[in-house]
Amino acid sequence: MNTVAFALTGLCTAWTLLGTLSVIRATRGQRLPESLASRIEDPFSTSRFDGLAAEERAGRARALPPVSVLKPLCGKDAGLSANLESFFLQDHPNLELVFGVQSPNDPAIEVVRELAARYPASNVKLVVHTGGTAINPKVDNLLGMLPHASHDLLLISDSNVRAPAHYVSEMVETLLADPKNGLVTNLFAGTGEDGLGSALENVQLNGFCAAGTALPTLLGDALIIGKSMLFSRRMFDELGGFRRVADVLAEDYVMGKLFQHGGYRVRIAPTVLDNVTRGMSVRGFVQRQQRWAMLRSRLRPAAQLVEPLTSPLAVLPLAIWLLGPAAAVTWALTLLALRDVGGWVALRGYKHAWLPALLSPLRELFMLFVWFRAPLKRHVVWRGHRVRLGAGTLVFVPAEARAR
C-alpha cells in the first residue's frame, strides 16, 4: 500500500509541477511580475518578436503575408466591443477582418458596424447568413464565412478574446519560423470575473486548463482550446478542411490532431490572450465544465479516467496514509497553490491572485463532481434539443432538430 501511495502522490506532484512550468515555458514568462520574469531566461525562444519595441515590431510586420481573421459571432457578449476593437488595432498591415452571424437580428451586427465606422481604414467584411448543414454551430458559421475570406492564412478567433496589438504578427512569425509548423495557438488568461461563478471559471482556466493544454502540447501531443488558431487554408483543405470537423463538438481538438497526423507541428505562441468571463453563475460554471469533461471523456477516455490522480484532493487520502494528516494537508494545499495560484500569476500577474488561493479547494470539489458524472452523461443541449454525444464527440441529432 505504501508503494501505491508513494507512486500516486509522486505522480500528482510531478504533474502539478511540470504543468505550471509548462505554462511559464509556453508563454516565455511574459505575464509574470517583473520581479519574477527578470530571473527567467529562455534559451529556446523562437519568437523574433520577443523584446522588440512597438516600432520595430510594426516594421517587421509589414514584411509578413496577409491574414484573414475569422470571427464567428452569436449575440452580444460582455465586453464584446472592446474585444473586437482590439483586432482593429492590430499592427499587422494587411489584415482582413471577417465577422459572421447567422441571424439578421443578431445584436453583434450593430457592434461590428460601429467599429467599422470608427476605423474606416480597416478591411472589414460582415457576413450575415442562415447557416448550412454542419451540426457544430461554430463550424457552421465558419463555413458560411469562408467564401468571403481572401487570404490563405486564416486566424480563427472567438468573440471573447481580447488581444494586444502585436498578436497577429507574432502568430504569423511563429507559424513561419519552421516549414513543419502547421497550426499555431495561444494560452489564455481568464479575466473580468464579476461574481463567484466567473471567478471559479477563471481559476479553472488559469490553473487546470492552462497546464493541461501547455504540458501535452509542448510534449508533442497537441491539446488545443480553439479560441485562437492560425493555419494555412490550403494546408487544411489538403487535410480535409472544415467538413472533417462539421459534425463533432470538439472541432479544435480534432483540427489539432489532423495537422499532427498530417506530419505538421502544433505550436503555442508566447502571447497570452485575455478571455473575458463575466456574468457566469455557479450553475453556469458547472454546466460548462461538465460539457468540457464530457468532451474529454469521448476524446481521451484513458486520460480522463486517470484525471483525478492529478487532483491533490482526490489523492489526499493516500497522502494521509503515507505522510500523516498534517503533512498530507500541507502537501495538498501546496500543490493547489502551485497549480492555481502559480498559473494565475504566470498568466495574469499578482492582480487578484488571492482569488485562486481562496477558491481553489472549492473549485477542486466541483471538478471532482464533474469528473464523476462525465462518462455517465450521454446528452448535451444543442439548439434547444437534447442530442447524444458519441465517441470522438460525434453528435447524433434528431431529425426534427436538423430540420430547424
pLDDT tens digits along 214-266: 999 999 888 888 899 999 999 999 999 999 999 888 899 999 999 999 999 99
Contact 287, 380 (CB under 8 A): no
Average pLDDT over residues 130-154: 92
Mind listing the domains of the chain with CATH numbers?
19-284 (3.90.550.10)
pLDDT for 42: 46
Distance CA 261, CA 160 (A): 30
pLDDT for 170: 95
Contact 232, 153 (CB under 8 A): yes
pLDDT for 380: 76
Q: What is the pTM of this model?
A: 0.87
Give me the chain's average pLDDT, please. 88
pLDDT for 53: 55
At 299, the pLDDT band (50, 70, 90 cuts) reads confident
Average pLDDT over residues 368-384: 79
pLDDT for 57: 56
Q: What is the pLDDT of residues 21-72, one digit of tens each?
A: 999 998 877 777 665 555 544 433 444 454 555 555 555 656 799 999 999 9
At 328, the pLDDT band (50, 70, 90 cuts) reads very high
Average pLDDT over residues 180-192: 94
